[in-house]
Structure 1
Amino acid sequence: MTLKDLYQRPGFLLRRTHQISAAVFENACASVGLTPAQYGVLTVLSSEPGLDQTRLARALAFDKVTVMRVCKGLEERGLIERRIAEHSRRQMAVVLTPAGKKLLQQARGPAEQAYQRLLSPLTLTQRQQLIEILETLTQGLADEARAPFVPLLPPATTEPAAEPTAAPKARARRTNTGQVKATRPR
């Protein structure tokens, strides 16, 4: 393998893209002092107040240690509170504090600027293709992930069951952005 081969491998390019993505986000959000992981936690909790830490971790594809570390830092800053969950005394529910809601609101503009900056080298068509390719890759290899990803999206509308046939039909599957696509059964 040559260095050129190494530098063109998907793993190398994805890792490098992640480094750049994190740097672009952190530069844009320096004024609010948030990392991408912290912003993700605040965003999820804004949509799902009182979510338990396990579901929070799955909604962001974090392992339990990472979500606990991020929550601890946000709690120390007074941006979230962890409480014993009402439905299970063994789980912790996480909620945004008023300060957390305010900071999230302040961070939305810089986060959008980071998103636009990250995609700025691409045309609109390339942006759409990139998202589709990344969704295909992450969904196709989801079983290989170290942490599960369970998006918090409204359930897909279900249609009446069709009559069974000899050949299996494609099934609907939600993408990371909530779109429904047909996939082949395994």
Structure 2
Amino acid sequence: MTPSGDHSTAEALGLLVKETQAILHLRMAERLRHLELSVPQYACLQALDHTPASTSSDLARHAFVSRQSMNVLLQGLEKRGLIERSEEPGPRRERATVLTPAAISLLGRARTEVAAVAKTMTGHLSASDTSRLLTLLSSCRDALVESGAG
């Protein structure tokens, strides 16, 4: 028996969003591989570009990884000379992190790769459909964030 009504439509939408996210992640990983970047590393560099001196906890939230995974990720980026971490720990003993010039250059190339994936994803949509989809998905995200606050 197939469920009917809004419940099944909402469930199907949730599954479609998850499937789309998984394929998007795969395509981004494919495009970033030649730059020797993973999707979480890219997300971390993006977050640092938008919010310099972020802590590893902040970066973990932006990259959708655990704090422990973020610390390993940051160690790898630091060894590659892509980030610098302050010597002095801040609140909660975390060290602020900033991008190096090499990371800024790499991030520019990575953004081009990710933009190509996004363009493929939305290529069959009109500009107004893309804008509307952005608004609708933002609303869905916000509803989930609000539901977790209670």
Q: TM-score range by the shorter chain?
A: 0.7 to 0.9
Give unpaired runs (5+ residues) of structure 2: 3-7
Query: How far apart in 2 are the matches of 1:98 and 1:50?
Result: 15
Give the C-alpha shift of residue 62 in structure 1: 4.6
Partner of 1:27: 30
Distance 1:144 1:33, change over 3 A: farther
Residue type of the alignment partner of 1:129 = R
Task: Choose from 53, 59, 78 the match for 1:75.
Answer: 78
Identity level (%): 28
Give the C-alpha shift of residue 131 in structure 1: 0.8
Which digits, 9 at most, give the CA deviation of each residue in 1:164-183, with x for residues without a partner? xxxxxxxxxxxxxxxxxxxx
Larger radius of gyration: 1
If each structure's strand is expressed as a fraction of its own residues, which one has the higher value? 1
8 Å CA contact retained: 2:88, 2:95: yes
8 Å CA contact retained: 2:49, 2:99: yes
Q: What value does the CA root-mean-square deviation take over the aligned residues?
A: 3.0
TM-score (norm 2): 0.76
Residue type of the alignment partner of 1:39 = Y
- Say which is worse superposed, 130-139 or 57-66, in terms of deviation: 57-66
Partner of 1:100: 103
Residue type of the alignment partner of 1:52 = T
Task: Choose from 16, 20, 23 the match for 1:13.
Answer: 16
Which digits, 9 at most, give the CA deviation of each residue in 1:105-159, with x for residues without a partner? 22121121122112113222221121111100111110456xx9xxxxxxxxxxx
Task: Choose from 54, 58, 74 the match for 1:55.
Answer: 58
Partner of 1:120: 123
Query: How far apart in 2 are the matches of 1:10 and 1:65?
Result: 32
- Listed as ranges, the matches of 1:168-179 within 5 Å are none
TM-score (norm 1): 0.63
Distance 1:35 1:117, change over 3 A: farther
Alignment size in residue pairs: 145
Partner of 2:48: 45
